[in-house]
Structure 1
């Protein structure tokens, strides 16, 4: 393929998967590939950045470009890169690997914000496998959470929903909790006969804990079907999201300012209405000037937009790429 414009990459690295788009500064999508999630807290930053560099090379191969094709800007929005020092470390290592002439590294929540609030400010929540949120003031000041899991008070995302659903199903069987359709709905995902068998398989290492994430859609489906226990889990997630949003609005002193609130990630962009409706109702009471909306494009669109903006691409190119991303999906997946 012959490309006359400069190349950019946009990367949305979640805890369970990473999307990378390769585009040019005219807004043409050249490749969209998907790989494993970004987990530097478990695997180390070297392994994480090496995998991102490999994903970039695969994107160039899919596009029919040479492996050393020059990339002007790389926008890397990565889960589990939560502190400024981690952003600097990731940027230094990505630069050393030559992924782009200029690299921008941010937490993945800001990809959701960029994708859903083009002016670049507001509050964004990512609820995928895990959960996080960040806020940016119109003047550029930002606020975020430490986001280290249970030890920093975090609960939410698909894995938390799945674990809560499994626990509630076990409690329903041993008499500690109310009856729930989750007892019947969950075991089949792992081709097992009971939720107790699933729990035992996890405790013995036969099923990785992260694999429980696959149960989250079943919990949402049970909630949509009217199961009281499943609904309670989904509403608890909504309450946590509202707590995050209102805390950020308060810290940034935006409670009295009309502020976009962008909701993204798999548990918010799954088509079920119970969770976003609950969030809207709670925010209407607690932060009436907040304007919540569920993101209507994959979060990688925000990472790609940041890369184009940094490269000086025109607004027409940015709109073109966003529209293309909204209407397509990854052309290559690996390692999932």
Structure 2
């Protein structure tokens, strides 16, 4: 039987990876480009960006135009609400890039990249924070992930903003003393924290540089600062809560299941956060296995495409080949 072809996309808030492969487990091409999140772009812009990246991946794989993709699996940030997922599914299907399509939130690619176990909960903590879960019978758990509008707390951008917030208040006397104050000054080479805030406001410092302060929070906390340590513990509280709620919704809390931790803040395995989380999650769900993502999320998107092509379960040998290739 001739191998069938697929394309798989993992779209984050800053970049998108697209893979083209076949049903025999070969990866034929991989390209990286800008985000396709409809929260960052317009809806039409997201579709156009996806089309362009799939075309690039096809070209890199040297696929003639006449050869059809059997399946296109797209997992992207910005597919949070059911109405958004439905609209994206319809839009991607209408592009006619493949015979069949699947579109969902990028957390499900992260989950598949982290574990083949059907019962699993994943938390991503990168620039933002979110969680999702799946159960063997197809049930899922998810959050709206609309930032403060939906009660979210945490993520690298939030921690960075808190570092500046607490440093400013420590400097002018509105808040408690913290080593974040001199650390923020030193990081940006400015005489005061207020000068840092003003430089960010006026554009003298690029706004994107604020995110560098996430690392500063962890450095200051590791050195023993009480306020920075409380911020890190508060993040651990939030991640534990996301897992608890997700697992409870799916009836998994006291069952064997996999917890996948992903995103740059968690894959860094900073001891103050990582060790605390492992202890908390073991106490929360003694039967759960905790894993830190080591495969790129696009591997999960590719495996989900292969699951589709193989009737729901990619053969283990093919899964190993895809993971090795990516």
Q: 1:105 to 1:161 in 2, by over 3 A?
A: same
Q: 1:66 to 1:195 in 2, by over 3 A?
A: farther
Q: 1:266 matched to which residue of 2?
A: 264
Q: Equivalent of 2:132, from 128, 134, 144?
A: 134
Q: 1:318 matched to which residue of 2?
A: 319
> Displacement of 1:320 after TM fit?
0.4
8 Å CA contact 1:12–1:300 kept in 2: the answer is yes
Question: Normalization by structure 1: what TM-score?
Answer: 0.85
Q: Distance in 2 between matches of 1:273 and 1:86?
A: 37
Q: Distance in 1 between matches of 2:55 and 2:37?
A: 20
Residue by residue over 1:4-55, the C-alpha shift from the partner in whole angstroms, topping out at 9 and shown as x without a partner, is 7433222221122222222222222333222223431343211112112112
Pairing 1:50–2:54 present:
no
Q: 1:191 to 1:43 in 2, by over 3 A?
A: farther
Residue by residue over 1:70-121, the C-alpha shift from the partner in whole angstroms, topping out at 9 and shown as x without a partner, is 3222221111211222112112212222332221111111112111220332
Residue by residue over 1:230-276, the C-alpha shift from the partner in whole angstroms, topping out at 9 and shown as x without a partner, is 33222221110101111112222222212211111111112423222
> Displacement of 1:192 after TM fit?
5.3
8 Å CA contact 2:255–2:285 kept in 1: the answer is no
Q: Which moved more, 1:202-211 or 1:238-247?
A: 202-211
Aligned residue pairs total 322
What SS is found at the alignment partner of 2:261?
strand
Q: Which moved more, 1:115-124 or 1:223-232?
A: 223-232
Pairing 1:81–2:79 present:
yes
Q: Distance in 1 between matches of 2:44 and 2:185?
A: 37
8 Å CA contact 2:253–2:284 kept in 1: the answer is no
Q: Equivalent of 2:160, from 140, 159, 162?
A: 162
Q: 2:38 matched to which residue of 1?
A: 40
Q: Distance in 2 between matches of 1:32 and 1:215?
A: 32
Q: Distance in 1 between matches of 2:191 and 2:4?
A: 55
Q: 1:63 to 1:219 in 2, by over 3 A?
A: farther
Q: 1:331 matched to which residue of 2?
A: none
What SS is found at the alignment partner of 2:161?
helix
Unaligned runs of 5+ in 1: 326-336
Q: Distance in 2 between matches of 1:208 and 1:57?
A: 33
> Displacement of 1:126 after TM fit?
1.2
Q: Distance in 2 between matches of 1:32 and 1:187?
A: 41
8 Å CA contact 1:276–1:294 kept in 2: the answer is no
Q: Distance in 2 between matches of 1:271 and 1:287?
A: 20
Q: Equivalent of 2:305, from 304, 307, 318?
A: 307
Q: 1:216 to 1:20 in 2, by over 3 A?
A: farther
8 Å CA contact 1:113–1:120 kept in 2: the answer is no
Q: 1:251 to 1:209 in 2, by over 3 A?
A: farther
Unaligned runs of 5+ in 2: none
Q: 1:324 to 1:186 in 2, by over 3 A?
A: farther
**Aligned positions of 1:222-233 closer than 5 A:** 222-233=220-231
Q: 1:36 to 1:191 in 2, by over 3 A?
A: farther
8 Å CA contact 2:107–2:122 kept in 1: the answer is yes
Q: CA RMSD in A?
A: 2.5
8 Å CA contact 1:25–1:308 kept in 2: the answer is yes
8 Å CA contact 1:11–1:21 kept in 2: the answer is yes
> Displacement of 1:140 after TM fit?
1.9
> Displacement of 1:225 after TM fit?
4.2
Question: Normalization by structure 2: what TM-score?
Answer: 0.88
Q: 1:190 to 1:269 in 2, by over 3 A?
A: same
Q: 1:105 matched to which residue of 2?
A: 103
> Displacement of 1:204 after TM fit?
4.3
